[in-house]
Amino acid sequence: MEPEIAEIPAVDAVAEPAAENTDIATPDVVSAEPTKKSRIPKKAVHVLTAFGVLVLTFAILTSFVYRHAPTDSSIRKVVGVIPYPAAVIGNHVITLKQYLDERDALNTYFVSSAAQSGAAAPDEATITKNVVDTMIHKIAVEDMAKAANITLDESKVDDFYKNAVGGADPAEFEGQLKTMFGWTPDEFKARVVRAVVLASQVDESIQADATRQADRRAKAQAAYDRIAAGEDFAKVATDVSSDPSATAGGDVGDVKVSDIPAEWKDAIAAVAVGDYSKVVEGKSLYMVFKVVARTGKDADESVKLSLIAVPKETLEEATQEYLKSVRDWRYIGNT
């Protein structure tokens, strides 16, 4: 029996192997076309150019202004339009125009004085410094008044003006103001009187402030304690007292009782001859008195006194302290 032979499939029935995927992912091709450069619009260029020219012009003009005296006619025209600063105090700006307003009034006074008495005006640097210092002082006082809740007493302004007029004819006084300063009465009050009255009110507040005066009070008390401990009054007076009598050990000589200020009189009356007082507080001083002798009676009574005086902090001291605590830039008058 012949073996069976397996049937061979037809060639076309054999599955062909799957064709390999020869597709390879390729990156996007970047265009070789050159990128166009960005350009600043002509309008922007013109604006930037104009701004640069403006800055340069302002810089040149500023240099010109501060290189010449503010009283120069050309400078007057510039500062009449542009508010160049003469000084900056804290948040306050004093412009050159404001400075010139004050300077012109002072110049009118100098011219008038020269015509009447031949008196020469100070040099320009001195005038400038004095005017700027005065304007800065006024600002400092106003700021200190505001901090202390002190408001200007208008009745004192009126009283001050009346005292300034005195017994003169009001119309004549007004004429003098115009001749001497170029001011009307209202301008005189605004520029001078109101500032003086406010400064007086602030000064009174400072000297009445026990906390502010504590160090001065302690200095006077320390002098008293030295005397109480047995030190010689004259020695302590020489060391501590600010009175001119300190060089003489505090000896002020004989003083009529009727001439002694009321604020001291009771304290001195209570001191026995050879003894000394406790610390006495006056309006502007702390004092310790020694009664060396008494002579005369009634209206003719005199007292030989020695004195130790310690001044209270003043408005001027407080002003300088304040100015150290704020921005103080002076573009003129700083010499």
Q: In the prediction, which pLDDT does 130 show?
A: 93
Q: Is the model's pLDDT at 36 over the cut of 90?
A: no
Q: Is 243 helix (H, G, I), strand (E, B) or coil?
A: coil
Q: What is the Cα–Cα distance from 62 to 53, expressed in whole angstroms? A: 14
Q: All domains of the chain, ordered by start, with CATH?
A: 42-85 (no CATH), 93-210+324-330 (1.10.4030), 214-312 (3.10.50)
Mean pLDDT over residues 226-234, rounded?
97
Q: In the prediction, which pLDDT does 335 show?
A: 66
**Residue pair 282/333 in contact by the 8 Å Cβ criterion:** no
Q: What is the pTM of this model?
A: 0.76
Model confidence band, residue 6 (pLDDT cutoffs 50, 70, 90): very low
**Alpha-carbon distances, residue 183 vs 43, 171, 180, 226, 311 (angstroms):** 52, 13, 8, 55, 37
Mean pLDDT over residues 160-174, rounded?
92
Q: Identify which has the larger pLDDT, 169 or 65.
A: 169
Strand locations in the chain, DSSP E?
85-89, 92-95, 251-256, 280-281, 285-295, 302-311, 328-330
